[in-house]
Chain A
């Protein structure tokens, strides 16, 4: 008898405790739906406070010129192109597509530029059938369409190719995402030079994804390497190596509850998974530049 009473008592206490925890959690604005999407790349997931990308929140992704900075052992060339250009945002586009690929449900993709090539999203694992596009005339209308989409709980995520996302706009999107649980992914494409990064906004995390020189593929170009082909006997191999899986420089510029960090990963595969890079995961070292940009 006494034993059952203590059991009931502890159960009751545990109930109170969990209720209190929930209340506190709700006060903190996180609600109980603290769902996360792990990247599947250990270094990345371990660094993020929730063990992955928080769902039902706003995340911002930007691009930039390829390569490593000189202080990272690279020679990142100065570019005349601004960060919103088609070439600069391509890696971030696939990064976002890879995140979407691992979510379930329909996706709204709001765009204002006409350069997205839809079939390529399938290569990052995003089924084209899941995507509904909303095209606006101007980048400034994209957040409006995004907010409309974020009110619809049936969506898995809303992607928006925004210009620079200001504080008010990002806060509205963040609140809408929290209310409905739909994840908001902003592809930041400042369409003016010198407007990249900088300004603070309310996004839960801010990322910059740029390409890096890839490592050698398993096989080089097979086309001209057949000595048996008569007339081509002198040409034993292509002058350049073939292309393998790409590498990305994934920079976490800002994250609530975690330091800025820099990761090197392999590009997303057909299932939307980032490869853990054969290069070097340097999650700990937070470059000063990134912090100042956050």
Chain B
């Protein structure tokens, strides 16, 4: 299928304020020039062509609307259109910038035959405001050529008509050749595909390489051509329509439970579990209330899903009432049926905490449920990193060695608090320190443990050195103090944590 004016018509679909009677062209800056890259039928009829400098087009047609082209948005729109075409066949692909490919083998009879399918497709596209040309043929290459260079807007090549017959009058450019190759063929007098077909193959191949013959064979259906359809995942969803608009929380909870049960049935059939659930409630005023829940592990337990969703139903504003509810498993992962562990094996299974993690996450937010993983850093502030609760912490072995060397406090102050210290000699642990106005006499002490700044993390730490002391005061309380050289070579003391 060929959409000759797709970019321009896409723009018209979005920007409805564009005056329909004025021709429209899209421009892009190529090198130092602004060139017309796409246009609509009206502009084409009045002599604008792609590749024309924008200024010339403007001069020629003063009423011409010029807009910037947006290749990425256009590609996305084309892909969306391809997905829309999935109503005709599950195998669809976008051929940027202006083509769509549908493999309708085995689908045509659902629409009452190939002709009717084509007519339906073109009619629907026309209603969307898209000019389309479609061709249906036994090979991708032939369909491509006929859609772009054929005479009819809806070309159909029945299976019993040889493709060569229909392709022969078309120009060689229809073969999807590189531009300079088509140019070269034309210079040698090959105007149409028919000319190529009559020529002996061996010299052609010698002169032009394999590409020309390959494309020819593909168009004629003699050589196979790969067709990569868009990754089209089937949506797993369940829907429940209410007889009357519903707003009561109990009724909605009941509906959610039913939806979850149905959804889990679908998931079980596919041996998948949901990673993310989206609940969409269609309100009476045609707006949609929306709720989405993530799961720590793929799951297909209806009770668990329902509890997560119902807990958060209160967040939703049902307005005047809800007409229908849809539940979508918008992300899934393979989930095999569980093997029930035999009690004979004697091996204790690790209890599954994912349900607990999900429930807590939905209450507190996912980032607030975590495990800690050690980081290889001497700096206590950096020694711990948060990892998701369901991630198995791996590198624990290395960290296990450190606490044996030097003890670490049970409680750490986020910001070390300055203390006043009296030490007998500079390198000694303090004899007294004053913290929050109270004097602590040091009875016992251990240290120093010297920690160097990690210059590879921050340049300002090159000169940073901390000497940590564990001290016990006369009451038995244990503190973690450190001495750090401050400005002017003066050592400052800080309290950083508490031992038990």
Contacts and interface: CB of A to CB of B under 8 A. Distances in A.
Given A133-B369, A136-B368, A154-B351, A119 B374 contact: yes
Interface in A80-107: 80-81, 86-87, 89-95, 97, 105-106
Contact of B475 (A77, A81, A127, A144): A77
A76 B475 contact: yes
Contacts of B420: none
Contacts of B404: 270
Contacts of A211: 475-478, 500
B359 to A, nearest CB: 6
Contacts of B206: none
A80 B471 CA distance: 20
A136 B368 CA distance: 7
Interface string A118-133: 1111111001110111
Interface string A192-236: 000000000000000001111110010001011000000000010
A242 interface: yes
B411 A135 contact: no
A27 interface: no
Contact of A120 (B352, B389, B410, B471): B410
A65 B477 contact: yes
A154 to B, nearest CB: 3
A148 B355 CA distance: 11
A149 B446 contact: no
B205 interface: no
Interface string A238-261: 111111101110000000000000
Interface stretch (B177-185, B333-341, B393-401): B393-401
B413 A86 contact: yes
B498 A243 contact: no
B476 A238 contact: no
A148 B436 CA distance: 38
Contacts of B389: 132-133
Interface size class of B (residues with CB under 8 A): 35 or more
Interface residues of A, number: 74
A118 B384 contact: yes
A47 to B, nearest CB: 22
Nearest to A135: B368
A253 B411 CA distance: 24
Given A80-B437, A155-B353, A66 B477 contact: yes
Interface in B431-446: 431, 436-438, 442-446
A239 B374 contact: no
A214 B363 contact: no
A93 B410 CA distance: 7
Contact of B411 (A77, A93, A213): A93
B409 A117 contact: yes
Q: Is the interface of B mostly helix, strand, loop or mixed?
A: mixed
B360 A240 contact: no
A244 B399 CA distance: 23
A52 interface: no
Interface in B326-375: 350-353, 355-357, 359-360, 363-364, 368-374
Interface string B297-325: 00000000000000000000000000000
B360 A149 contact: yes
B428 interface: yes
A122 B498 CA distance: 15
Nearest to B499: A90
Contact of A93 (B372, B399, B429, B500): B500
Interface stretch (A3-11, A108-116, A284-292): A108-116
B188 interface: no
B400 A122 contact: yes
B66 to A, nearest CB: 54
Quick one: which of A81, A122, A217 has the most chain B CB within 10 A?
A122
Given A106-B351, A121-B410, A129-B396, 11 more contacts: A80-B438, A87-B498, A115-B411, A119-B399, A123-B408, A134-B369, A135-B368, A211-B478, A238-B428, A243-B445, A248-B500
9 contacts: A66-B475, A86-B413, A94-B410, A106-B350, A122-B400, A123-B408, A129-B371, A135-B368, A242-B444
Interface of A: 65-67, 74, 76-77, 79-81, 86-87, 89-95, 97, 105-106, 108, 114-124, 127-129, 131-136, 141, 144-145, 148-149, 152-155, 209-214, 217, 221, 223-224, 235, 238-244, 246-248, 267, 270
Which A-B residue pairs are the 3 nearest by beta carbons? Answer: A154-B351, A67-B475, A94-B500
